[in-house]
Structure 1
Amino acid sequence: MSITDLMMDVLEKSGLMPLWQTVAPWLALDERQLIFMIATPVFLIVALWEYARIRNNPTLMDSREAIRNFALGAGYQITELLFAGIIAFPVFALLYQYRLFDLELNVFTAFLTFIGVEICFYWMHRCSHTMRWFWAAHVVHHSSERMNFSTAMRQNATNIFNGNWVFYLPLALLGLNPVWIGVVFALSLVYQFFIHTTLVKRLPAWVEFIFNTPSHHRVHHGRNPGYIDRNYGGVLIIWDRLFGTFTNEDEHNPPHYGITTPIPDNRLITLWTHEYADLFRDMAQSSNWRERLQRLWQPPEWRRGCSEKTGPSSQNQPSHQS
């Protein structure tokens, strides 16, 4: 019995199946979503442990923001749970039907899936900083000026509609089972939760060389010149080293977290949508359709707040610009 079958059996025996089918009749739980559901209580426990140690330091912890971060994470999980099955999964299933290779699950293909997901995550994450349409969803994760475990939960409920899952489609076409892809992706995000902290300093050199660590990820969240748009890796940091986007944390230049332009307010709806609103405003003010469409894939700072008639913006901030 798979983990999905087990979960559905629990719903059936508990009498909750009718409610589940009423709320989302199209929904079939998958292993990826179940991993997130199981991991969430662990995240809460670890976040409380960290909170007890940094709660008196307002530069590291704000109780109201931490609660807001978990609310943002809940919104992300809910929309993934309700809509992934009708938006993303059919596309993965279709491509898998036309797969190039028939691959059985074994140690080699499991490792291949891990490497494939890692490479796809790197490019998805990099594009989420360098293409404005994807940045519009990702910006919420970077808009906090604090770095703690609750920041990891600071996700956008629009992610499933934003389409960053398309970066993983080639893996299904190659012949990697979409279930394997989903499981590895979920486990990668679980790992990444634990690198959102200031309590862990440097790890042994060999770990820092291969893996994404709290030190590397603090750089990624920094808005300091030289830190912006660096260290995109998920579990591994080797892709950043290979593709020239790696930067070490400098103890003499500690990261200042957040984005270069403050968000209008801290309401959940604002956090989810403010960059979309700015993007659509800039598209509406553009002088022609070519420029309107370009805004979707150009960097977030490209001609921001102005049209082709008025020329480029005087600001030239990298993608931590909100």
Structure 2
Amino acid sequence: MTENILTVDRIVKNYSNHKALDDVSLNVPKGVIYGLLGPNGAGKTSLIRIVNQITGPDSGQILFDGKPLSEEHIYQIGYLPEERGLYKKMKVGEQLLYLARLKGLNKAEAMDKLKYWFEKFDIKTWWDKSVEDLSKGMQQKIQFVATVLHQPKLIILDEPFSGFDPINASIIKDEILELKEKGSTIIFSTHRMESVEELCDYIALINKSKKVLEGKKMDIKDAFKTNTFSVLYSGVLPTETDSYHLKTNEANLDGSNLAVLEAKAGSGGNQIIADLIQNAEIKSFKEDIASMNDVFIKAVQGSN
């Protein structure tokens, strides 16, 4: 049995005079939150539309759970587009029931699952409201329910926190993590690097129609680290030892100092600490790990 829920193999997509995807290959493992990143116009939405079979590729292949992507897989995918698409004149309950039936649930199954979600989100009074009478954030909640109601194996969320206040964004974040715990795989497309930092296990970055990088988030962050360490101390530090070079050193009002050290080739945190404690009292010590924002900017600039 395949370890990937989705295998994207050398996908090419052209639109008249524009190449949206240029030989893109990705592997999305089962049971992870997979961040699909890239600047506007990079090709992310084109790829998402192909996975959802809204459009087709010009060449290449997509496998879903080891099998060529086909119509039967529509029922195993949930898609929350960035541009939301509810019928504004329809009642909330009537609309969700309709969308659930489109995803293959019978009426009894759909009603059962809707009851669960309406109670969970405390929205039982919304059943007979028209969508147009709801706020944007309330509509987002309804569309999220429609996306996950049929318990899809693969959930694709395009900017899922757009339009949410911090409280509701936190509720949706918790639901995403719970869906992952229950076995769903989530592809998460966003420009919010703090959400990627918090939620994603794997990431892929697409820029100018090509894949720039892909892999475990922590492995990619390690590849972009600067080998620098921040240390808060009192005492005196040598500017140079066998393990580090002193980059910056600033005195604080309380008499302590904050230094940034650059590790020398072959040295790591343990060697640096061993050198530091011979000369100073260490109050804190941490490696300066690249943020996802740093990774995004450097990777895009490098590929440009």
TM-score (norm. length: structure 2):
0.24
Higher-helix-fraction structure: 1
Larger Rg: 2
